[in-house]
Structure 1
Amino acid sequence: MRAHIVWDWNGTLFDDIGAVVAASNAAFAEIDLSPLTVREYREQYRVPVVDFYQERLGRAPSPEEWLRMDASFHRHYEALRDGCGLTAGVEELLTGWSGGGSSQSLLSMYGHDQLLPLVRRFDLERHFVRVDGRSSTGGVSGKAEHLVRHLAALAPADVLPARTVLIGDVVDDALAAAHVGAHAVLYSGGSHARSALEQVGVPVADTLAQAVQYAQELVAS
């Protein structure tokens, strides 16, 4: 069976950490929380997002607070998103992986209806055998259940978990991969601090080229 990479989007292929932190700070301002730097954000970020907000508040946000913060985040993120680009080397890495006879797909917790236009804007859809974004309300669940459905849809294409590597930027990506029996490589340029990623016990890469190299080694072992 051929090797397969499941790519994450935000903070991995799509270099949007600056926009994410700015939008998060706008959401914090809704309930009078102080802003975070990129470094502080990476050190404190949690998945699901509601846990991140709860840790900052010291309590669970009320339904009204959650709705205000969520709406503010998305409003500001969408205003900043189009100023973001791809992480360095993405086009070459995607082309090289497919050209080597392996396959790849994209699974994001970003809303599917927002994800597809972005992927198409960068002319990347042609590289993937499947593109899935989140179809349910965000902030309340991790990636594992979405990865289960994603791989089930890919099963007819001979994609097996044991020959699959998920490349993402947060601890939840590694947990999702473990849940389905796949491998994981974590990229340090996204939403989590390297120190947090290193605690999971999977390879941590500082570039996407290094992440792909680790992926090749994992499926060859």
Structure 2
Amino acid sequence: MKHIIWDWNGTLFHDIDAVVGATNAVFKPYGLPDMDAEGFRAAYTRPIWVAYERILGRPLHEGEWERLDQAFHDNYHDLMEACALAADALDCLHEWAESGRTQSLLSMWAHDRLVRKAADLGIDRYFARIDGLSNGAPGGSKAEHMVAHIESLDVKPSHILVIGDSLDDAHAAQHVGASAVLYTGGMTRRTDLAASGFPVVDTLSEAFTFAS
């Protein structure tokens, strides 16, 4: 492989506690009990509004998704301040850069916030490109964003490894003809990742096994 495309939330950025906490805050007015990480992972899917419908046990009403999504981000942006990079993320970024190969960052998080956070953590210098969500509906599929990201890289999809924590990451890679490895530190249960047929790893450094 010549290039790695990293996912952010739940992959390089270990924010599962903030995600679960923000989700619990969103659904507190509904009288639902708090979820732990495994409870959240059991409900999680993309698009996110489908996960919210699972949690509520009913379809969302007109305008309800927009209100819930805004409330989630309001809470998440406070809680994420206590979060950090995944345990071996910095070592992986450095090792890949030292190998002379390239890497980039593609996330469905807001672009401006993503760029700023990567800079705050001192890792923006590792990436040939950073793309977050600057248009399109939040919470949706990553596939079309992956197409645009790869077109901007000038790297053949067959030379790219996507490392992410959700089935959406793998499906986006598959959509463009890239390879994918799924990491268990994020928002999807290990059993669901394994059932997908894609390689599954418990540390980011293990993913390099599939990047030779």
Fold shared by both chains (TM-score > 0.5) = yes
Aligned position for 1:65: 64
Instruction: Return 100-109 or 67-76, whichever deviates more.
Output: 67-76
Aligned position for 1:107: 106
- Name the count of aligned residue pairs: 211
1:184 aligns with 2:180: yes
| AA at the equivalent of 1:198 | A
Superposed, which structure 2 residues align to 1:126-137 within 5 Å?
A: 126-136=125-135, 137=137
5+ residue gaps, structure 1: 217-221
5+ residue gaps, structure 2: none
Q: Deviations over 1:9-41 (max 9, x none)?
A: 000000100000000111112433332110111
Superposed, which structure 2 residues align to 1:73-152 within 5 Å?
A: 73-136=72-135, 137-139=137-139, 141-152=140-151
Contact 1:188/1:206, CA 8 A, preserved across alignment: yes
Of the three residues 194, 201, 205, the one matched with 2:201 is 205
Aligned position for 1:36: 35
SS at match of 1:82: helix
Q: Deviations over 1:151-197 (max 9, x none)?
A: 00111xxx110010100000111111000000000000100000000
| AA at the equivalent of 2:124 | E
User: 1 CA distance for matches of 2:148 and 2:73?
Assistant: 25
User: 2 CA distance for matches of 1:210 and 1:59?
Assistant: 39
User: 1 CA distance for matches of 2:134 and 2:31?
Assistant: 30
Aligned position for 2:161: 165
Deviation at 1:44, TM superposition (A): 1.6
Deviation at 1:213, TM superposition (A): 2.2
Deviation at 1:46, TM superposition (A): 0.7
Deviation at 1:121, TM superposition (A): 0.5
Give the CA RMSD over aligned residues.
1.2
User: 1 CA distance for matches of 2:53 and 2:166?
Assistant: 18
SS at match of 1:166: strand
Contact 1:112/1:135, CA 8 A, preserved across alignment: yes
User: 1 CA distance for matches of 2:43 and 2:12?
Assistant: 22
User: 2 CA distance for matches of 1:71 and 1:30?
Assistant: 15
TM-score (norm 2): 0.95
TM-score (norm 1): 0.92
Contact 1:166/1:185, CA 8 A, preserved across alignment: yes
SS at match of 2:131: strand
Instruction: Return 30-39 or 87-96, whichever deviates more.
Output: 30-39
SS at match of 1:210: helix
Identity of aligned residues (%): 45
Q: Deviations over 1:191-213 (max 9, x none)?
A: 00000000111110000110122
User: 2 CA distance for matches of 1:40 and 1:174?
Assistant: 22
User: 2 CA distance for matches of 1:63 and 1:128?
Assistant: 39
SS at match of 1:68: helix
User: 2 CA distance for matches of 1:165 and 1:22?
Assistant: 31
Deviation at 1:64, TM superposition (A): 3.2
Contact 1:185/1:215, CA 8 A, preserved across alignment: no
User: 2 CA distance for matches of 1:69 and 1:29?
Assistant: 11
